[in-house]
Structure 1
Amino acid sequence: MMATWEIVCQHTYRKHLFSNILKEEEFWNDPNHSISKAYERTDQAILSNSSDLGRGGSTAVTAILINGERLWVANVGDSRAVLSRGGQAMQMTIDHEPNTERGSIENRGGFVSNMPGDVPRVNGQLAVSRAFGDKSLKSHLRSDPDIQEMDINNNTEVLVLASDGLWKVMSNQEAVDIARRIKDPLKAAKQLTTEALKRESKDDISCVVVRFRG
């Protein structure tokens, strides 16, 4: 049941999020507001399809390059975007963890558990403070994204977008070092996934590499 709902949630997320962004009439004038509205609409679409499938959900990270010059990155949860500029890793997203957003969770009537040997969790269940879906915890969670923007210059090399299954076993710098060495971005993403599995990552791994130069 949990796996089924995760598949439904991720399918809806992939199907709706980017199209929702492009549907926003003010996107070219106000990308920040448009991306936030698109995330909200996507979360509503996921919740409307949740039926009685349980409390599963999804994190998300998106990247939009405008005119080849300006990069916009947004995320909810602990999926992360890391940029390589001049060989140095730059994290463009914020990991939304229960401990760092405890005040927001408690203001919404939830609590953060800190059990020995485990990570902090919302109501003892969820290890992120923002997510799509998660209907049973939605009143305690946020689904609005953090949004960052950056100019792309001649020193910008690669962008790695990945779920926490990668970042739990690999530093930002290690990830961009691997990605920079491989010219084909698809092969680079596969190599990062393979390396995470070699390091015995226990979580789902999704990875996309975007190459800007070379």
Structure 2
Amino acid sequence: MLINQKENMMINKMDHTIPTSPSLTNCRQTVSYSSKLDHVILARRKRAELRRSKVLSGGENDTLAKRRRFENVDNEFPYQSSVIGRRREMEDAISVELGFVDKSCMKLDFYAVYDGHGGSRVANACRERLFKLLASEIGDGSDQGEMDWDKLMVESFVKMDEEVNDQSEFVGSMGSTAVVAVVGDDEIVVANCGDSRAVLARGGVAVPLSNDHKPDRPDELERIEHSGGRVVNWNGNRVLGVLATSRSIGDRQLKPYVIAKPEVIVNKRNDKDEFMILASDGLWDVISNDFACHVVRRCLDGRICRRSSSEQVNDTTKENKYRMTNAAVVLTELAMARGSKDNISVIVVNLKK
């Protein structure tokens, strides 16, 4: 209110002092005032952003409290947060399998976010089976030298898709997107099928590790139309006016227009790697890659913390686990505060060696 009063006083004063034929001095005054006003507006926006972030560190909003599921660091699900949000049903699923491949020559961790549609069955089936299928594929090909990650991921996703579509209990309109990350000592492998997303923070820069599969993406639109399908704008671009993603596991009724083949990106790790975020589109619909990385960085540095200082612990491993889980929870709550209407699932992986 004080700022508004001051602005009004300045405007009224200028109305009385600026003549009809402005001199050079008056023009300078006008420019000065305009720059000050722009500065005030910018400052207000920053304060509004920080106020939103305070849903982060403290305030207990009743709606958020009812809608969220906060996984405590002492339970068996660290590094992640998954909330039903404003949906009636929870259709997302998360998978964290540390050391899912553990051999003398390699140790790999598996992280995945599945965003179901038409129900949660396909997402839950992927959570239970996909990492096992991938581990089996890796085991079969691990003696053949350097692994062909593109082939391994594609075969695992296709087998998962066949399992789902061959079972009569799954309705033909059920499906799930999948973004999977396999993290080893030397590389990060991301396979994406759908519109969930993986983002890497490297040297202060947000690096996308996947590309969203939207029906209006030029190459996806061409593929769909070439196979005889259509993209219809029905409350957004959708395959046959039904599905808002062009790739998924399941969705038997939309074959061959919707496929389960993932796009695979392999990144060599380096000392600048900070962390990785995997999340469903409930987060990315309202938060940019850059801002998500900014928030997580502050959480991992201890600058955004949802607990009081009296709860600080001296155990470094437990503290790191808490900070990653805290970062995931902060992102889900921030997405809700920004009006996300979908389920929101987030995994944060600390990559600092």
Which of the five TM-score ranges fits, normalised by the shorter chain? over 0.9
The DSSP-based 3-state class of the residue aligned with 1:139 is: coil
Partner of 2:346: 207
The DSSP-based 3-state class of the residue aligned with 1:200 is: coil
Partner of 2:335: 196
Q: Which moved more, 1:164-173 or 1:3-12?
A: 3-12
Q: Does 1:95 align with 2:212?
A: yes
Partner of 2:274: 157
Q: TM-score, normalised by structure 2?
A: 0.57
Q: CA deviation at 1:5?
A: 5.3
Distance in 2 (alpha carbons) for counterparts of 1:52 and 1:43: 11
Aligned residues: 210
The DSSP-based 3-state class of the residue aligned with 2:119 is: helix
Partner of 1:124: 241
Q: CA deviation at 1:53?
A: 2.8
Distance in 2 (alpha carbons) for counterparts of 1:5 and 1:12: 14
Distance in 2 (alpha carbons) for counterparts of 1:35 and 1:185: 26
Superposition pairs for residues 136-147 of structure 1, below 5 Å? 136-147=253-264
CA deviation digits over 1:51-109, x for unaligned, max 9? 3634121110000112x121100110000000000111011101001111111111222
Contact 1:12/1:45, CA 8 A, preserved across alignment: no
Contact 1:165/1:203, CA 8 A, preserved across alignment: yes
Q: CA deviation at 1:29?
A: 2.3
Q: Percentage identity across aligned positions?
A: 37
Q: TM-score, normalised by structure 1?
A: 0.92
The DSSP-based 3-state class of the residue aligned with 2:211 is: coil
Aligned-residue CA RMSD in angstroms? Answer: 1.8
Partner of 1:106: 225
Partner of 1:45: 163
Structure holding more helix per residue: 2
- Structure 2 residues without counterparts, runs of 5 or longer: 1-88, 92-116, 301-322
Which amino acid letter does the alignment assign opposite residue 260 of structure 2? S
Contact 2:194/2:213, CA 8 A, preserved across alignment: yes
Partner of 1:18: 131
Distance in 1 (alpha carbons) for counterparts of 2:344 and 2:151: 29
1:93 and 1:49, CA in 2 relative to 1: closer, same or farther beyond 3 A? same
1:138 and 1:132, CA in 2 relative to 1: closer, same or farther beyond 3 A? same
Q: CA deviation at 1:114?
A: 2.3
Distance in 1 (alpha carbons) for counterparts of 2:347 and 2:167: 27
1:52 and 1:32, CA in 2 relative to 1: closer, same or farther beyond 3 A? closer
1:95 and 1:207, CA in 2 relative to 1: closer, same or farther beyond 3 A? same
- Structure 1 residues without counterparts, runs of 5 or longer: none
The DSSP-based 3-state class of the residue aligned with 2:180 is: strand
Contact 2:172/2:250, CA 8 A, preserved across alignment: no
Which amino acid letter does the alignment assign opposite residue 213 of structure 1? K
Q: Which moved more, 1:179-188 or 1:4-13?
A: 4-13
Distance in 2 (alpha carbons) for counterparts of 1:5 and 1:99: 21
